[in-house]
């Protein structure tokens, strides 16, 4: 608790710098990441992040000391160069784009490591080089006041550009060809977006390092995609997630104590994985649950249908039936059936007496509707889809469970309320 208070009191300048720095970083990278995600160019950010290393080293060797602005310019140039080389290789040779990306990122990174180790082993260079290796794995603690001003300036440029060109960027990310046809300067806009990606990497690389930088770009956008279909909301959520992970990651690394970058990415990834699994609608588990619920619905409706049709045969509906009779009418797993019967009784579609079940008016209604749709669909398939009457039953068995009331009405109207199905059984309408 004490640690929590101390952490959020912002009194410690190091903590303040770390928090502000990582917030600036996460806002910039999440925003830019949304656009690269939409353009399906997520891994380009990965390439840029690796590729800035040689730029930083060359800038250092040329300048001789660790001046942040100079290093950032070096990083910026190298990042840009890497993207040009990727485009060149992918477009001017038969090498596939993913190979071009991997080749450029690994070779640039290799050159960067070569130069970095050269600097470290060279006494005349290494004396000023302390902290240069922070660019490899990131070291948020090393962010100082001056760095913050630099990050802040770049983040402002980035935010302003996105605000001004918001509409254009959306269109380019969403539908390049349409943007071209309505006369947008697509090439220029893509170049600006690319520049923004490089800028975001330049801000982030000192805090989280080259490898994890790509997570800062990709993960917030990929996660936000699971929570909304609306574009504006998507971008807001991504940015929000980035900021939350930065603050909590910084906090954990302060408490434990351990490096900041990996913890930010860890939090971000955990949120991502939880979202992939549990997000309503699009999450993997939610989908499975929906499918399960649908399976239950199918079982329930099949039971009601069977009971209804049993009553239909005997011209009466208030008869009780045993499990055996039901299984005779519609073979299914007995445990599945008894669970279904239990559910339906609880939901008041059935009344149970000893070991027999009887439809309530509510249950009868539903059984009638399912039977009706089944038979109507059989009529539709034979009449409009030219399927032989002896082949339509199976399909109708699945359609009867999914037809919405609107489509049901359309079907009735299209077929003009036929009285019998292809097997000459009466179609029951609601009286």
Considering only residues 353 to 412 of the shown chain, the ones binding other proteins according to CB under 8 A are 380-381, 384-388, 391-392, 394-395, 397-399, 402-404, 407, 410-411
Closest distance between other proteins and the C-beta of residue 185, in Å? 26
**Which of 24, 299, 359, 427 touches other proteins (CB under 8 A)?**
299
Stretch that binds other proteins, among 24-32, 183-191, 193-201, 296-304 (CB under 8 A): 296-304
**C-beta of 111 vs 170, nearer to other proteins:** 111
Beta bridge partners of 322: 356
Binding mask 321-360 for other proteins (x = CB under 8 A): ----------------------------------------
**C-beta of 2 vs 394, nearer to other proteins:** 394
Instruction: Kindly report each contact of residues 349-353 with a partner whose C-beta sits within 8 Å and lies 24 or more positions away, as own/partner.
Output: 349/300, 349/304, 350/307, 353/320
Asked if 230 is part of the footprint of other proteins (rule: CB under 8 A), the reply reads no
Closest distance between other proteins and the C-beta of residue 367, in Å? 16
Measured CA to CA, the distance from residue 227 to residue 240 in angstroms comes to: 12
**C-beta of 310 vs 403, nearer to other proteins:** 403
* Total of residues contacting other proteins (CB under 8 A): 92
Closest distance between other proteins and the C-beta of residue 117, in Å? 4
Helix (H) or strand (E) holding 321: strand 321-322
**Which of 65, 98, 334, 347 touches other proteins (CB under 8 A)?**
98
The CA dihedral of 269, 274, 275, 281, to the nearest 10 degrees, is 160
Of residues 147 through 206, those in contact with other proteins by CB under 8 A are: none
Of residues 122 through 151, those in contact with other proteins by CB under 8 A are: 122, 137
Asked if 261 is part of the footprint of other proteins (rule: CB under 8 A), the reply reads yes
Stretch that binds other proteins, among 16-24, 240-248, 264-272, 308-316 (CB under 8 A): 264-272
**C-beta of 225 vs 375, nearer to other proteins:** 225
Of residues 40 through 69, those in contact with other proteins by CB under 8 A are: 40-43, 45-46
Contact 344, 300 (CB under 8 A): yes
**Which of 68, 73, 103, 351 touches other proteins (CB under 8 A)?**
103
Q: In what order do the strands lie in the sheet with 350-353?
A: 321-322, 356-359, 350-353
Sign of CA dihedral 48, 49, 51, 56: positive
Count of CB atoms within 10 A of residue 220's CB?
31
**Which of 61, 81, 266, 319 touches other proteins (CB under 8 A)?**
266
Helix (H) or strand (E) holding 190: helix 186-224
Closest distance between other proteins and the C-beta of residue 217, in Å? 8
Contact 119, 60 (CB under 8 A): yes
Measured CA to CA, the distance from residue 237 to residue 226 in angstroms comes to: 10
Contact 63, 132 (CB under 8 A): no
Of residues 271 through 290, those in contact with other proteins by CB under 8 A are: 272-273, 276, 282-284, 287, 290
Cα→Cα distances 237→226, 241, 242, 275, 427, Å? 10, 6, 8, 12, 51
Closest distance between other proteins and the C-beta of residue 186, in Å? 21
Measured CA to CA, the distance from residue 108 to residue 116 in angstroms comes to: 12
DSSP SS3 for 353: strand
**C-beta of 299 vs 310, nearer to other proteins:** 299
The pairing of beta strand 321-322 with beta strand 350-353: unpaired
């Amino acid at each position: 608790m004490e640690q929590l208070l101390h952490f959020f009191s912002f009194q410690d300048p190091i903590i303040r710098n770390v928090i502000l720095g990582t917030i600036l970083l996460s806002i910039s990278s999440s925003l830019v990441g949304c656009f690269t995600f939409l353009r399906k160019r997520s891994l380009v950010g990965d390439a840029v992040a690796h590729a800035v290393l040689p730029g930083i080293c060359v800038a250092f060797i040329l300048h001789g000391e660790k001046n942040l602005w100079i290093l950032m310019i070096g990083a910026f140039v190298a990042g840009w160069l890497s993207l040009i080389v990727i485009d060149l290789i992918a477009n001017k040779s038969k090498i596939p784009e993913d190979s071009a990306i991997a080749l450029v990122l690994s070779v640039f990174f290799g050159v960067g490591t070569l130069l970095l180790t050269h600097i470290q082993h060279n006494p005349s260079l290494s004396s000023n080089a302390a902290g240069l290796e922070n660019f490899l794995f990131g070291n948020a603690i090393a962010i100082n006041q001056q760095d913050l001003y630099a990050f802040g300036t770049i983040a402002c440029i980035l935010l302003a550009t996105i605000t001004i060109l918001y509409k254009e960027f959306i269109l380019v990310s969403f539908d390049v060809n349409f943007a071209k046809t309505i006369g947008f300067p697509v090439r220029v806009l893509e170049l600006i977006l690319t520049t923004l990606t490089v800028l975001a990497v330049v801000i982030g690389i000192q805090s989280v390092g080259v490898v994890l930088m790509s997570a800062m770009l990709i993960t917030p956008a990929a996660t936000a995609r699971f929570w909304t279909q609306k574009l504006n909301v998507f971008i807001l959520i991504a940015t929000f997630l980035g900021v939350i992970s930065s603050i909590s990651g910084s906090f954990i690394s302060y408490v434990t104590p351990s490096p900041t970058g990996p913890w930010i990415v860890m939090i971000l990834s955990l949120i991502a994985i939880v979202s992939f699994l549990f997000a309503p609608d699009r999450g993997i588990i939610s989908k499975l649950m929906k499918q399960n619920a649908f399976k239950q619905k199918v079982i329930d409706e099949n039971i009601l249908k069977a009971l209804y049709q049993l009553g239909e045969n005997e011209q009466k509906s208030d008869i009780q039936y045993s499990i055996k009779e039901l299984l005779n009418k519609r073979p299914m797993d007995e445990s599945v059936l008894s669970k279904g019967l239990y559910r339906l009784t609880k939901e008041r579609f059935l009344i149970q007496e000893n070991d027999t079940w009887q439809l309530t008016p509510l249950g009868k209604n539903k059984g009638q509707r399912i039977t009706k749709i089944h038979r109507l669909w059989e009529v539709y398939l034979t009449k409009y889809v030219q399927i032989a009457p002896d082949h339509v039953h199976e399909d109708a068995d699945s359609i009867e469970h999914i037809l919405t009331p609107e489509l049901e009405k359309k079907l009735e109207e299209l077929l003009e309320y036929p009285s019998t199905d292809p097997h000459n059984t009466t179609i029951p309408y609601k009286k």
